Amino acid sequence: MTIGDVIRTCRKKKGMTQEEMAACLGVTAPAVNKWEKGSTLPDVALLAPIARLLGITTDELLSFQDELTDEEINQYLVTLQKDLESRDFHEVFLSVKKKIEEYPNCENLIWQAAVLLDAKRMTEELPDKDKYDNTIFGWYERCLRSEDERIRSQAADSLFHAFIRKEDYEKAAQYVEYLSLENPERKRKEALINSKTGKRAEAYRACEELIFSEYQHIQMVLNDLRMLYMEDDDHEMAKKLVEVSSSAASAFEMGRYHEVCYGLEVAVWEKDAAWTSQLIQEILDSIGTISDFTKSRLYQHMALKTAGSDYSAGLKQMLLDLKRELDDTTGNL
């Protein structure tokens, strides 16, 4: 609310007329009327007396509030989206600017309002869209100082893409630095910059490394999910997860060994001797393909290591021992 809105609301709660308020403050009733309409503002010397008269603090009188609630922000953004669809862009821009001036520390509001304005001017292809750069980019820059990593990284992302569009790749690279080293988006953005600046080999390698690491992450999560279903004795979903892991290995060209190895744990857990024996044999037959992903063109720019002969030999011996134990158990039944 504006200071005039606060004065009017609090005055009415007190059951006080404009004339009565004016008399208490030693001003005229038309002066109070102008405050409430927003035509003029009270003199600074009157702020404390007005607050005391209305039974509020000066912060409340000035509508001082660092933050809006999430609900208030969402409501404002819905209204902003509608305004952008129905009103002149510059008019809406000025209203947003005023709102941000009212809540200069509300980072979530600043970032999201900037994104909506930015998207609108890009999709509408306004003839003078660049004149808004300094203000909108300034709002993003302000969010880069946020203690909230989500807001910080999202603001950096917006600035990164803004300068990619402008083909200012040196400037775009500066905003990649705001992303954590663990964030895969950092490497993807670095790859994009490399692809635009003649460093094609580096771009290829970074993209391939992302694919490879994401595959490994996917398989780890699938394994965790499979274990959860096994713990809950859900055989159907445990087998389903084996199928998904196998399909992922095929899609990412990891080689036959990786396509058949994921079911062994489930087969043993189910005490399915026939399936376990079949899988052991398939794995034994495919041990030679354990490093086939190094031959895939999906990873041709990466320096991947093959599994050592000692590892393959140890794995083969373990499988043979398991098969022998299974055969003995089956034979005794």
Measured CA to CA, the distance from residue 189 to residue 177 in angstroms comes to 10
pLDDT band at 311 (very low <50, low <70, confident <90, very high): confident
Query: DSSP secondary-structure letter at 14?
Result: T
In the structure encoding, which two tokens stand for residue 86, read together? Answer: 């129905």
In the structure encoding, which two tokens stand for residue 204, read together? Answer: 């290829």
pLDDT in tens, 137-190: 999 999 999 989 899 999 999 999 999 999 999 999 999 999 988 889 999 999
Residue whose structure tokens are 């930015």: 118
Would the pLDDT of 333 be above 80? no
Mean pLDDT calculated for residue range 103-112: 90
Q: Average pLDDT over the chain, rounded to whole?
A: 91
In the structure encoding, which two tokens stand for residue 327, read together? Answer: 């055969």
Flag the least confident range among 147-156, 241-250, 315-324.
Answer: 315-324
Would the pLDDT of 233 be above 90? yes
Predicted TM-score of the model (pTM): 0.71
Would the pLDDT of 332 be above 60? no
Q: What are phi and psi of 26, to 5 degrees?
A: 75, 30
**Fold assignment, 70-201:** 1.25.40
| Domain boundaries of the chain, sorted by first residue | 3-61, 70-201, 203-332
Q: Which CATH architecture has domain 3-61?
A: Orthogonal Bundle (1.10)
> Which candidate, 232, 230, 231, 225, places its Cα nearest to that of 267?
230
Mean pLDDT calculated for residue range 113-127: 89
Percent of the chain with pLDDT over 70: 96
Residue type for 215, please?
A: Y
Mean pLDDT calculated for residue range 201-230: 97
Mean pLDDT calculated for residue range 106-119: 94
Question: Which residues touch 253 (CB under 8 Å, ≥6 apart)?
Answer: 292, 293, 296, 298
- Is the separation of the CB atoms in 133 and 93 below 8 Å? no
pLDDT of residue 64: 59
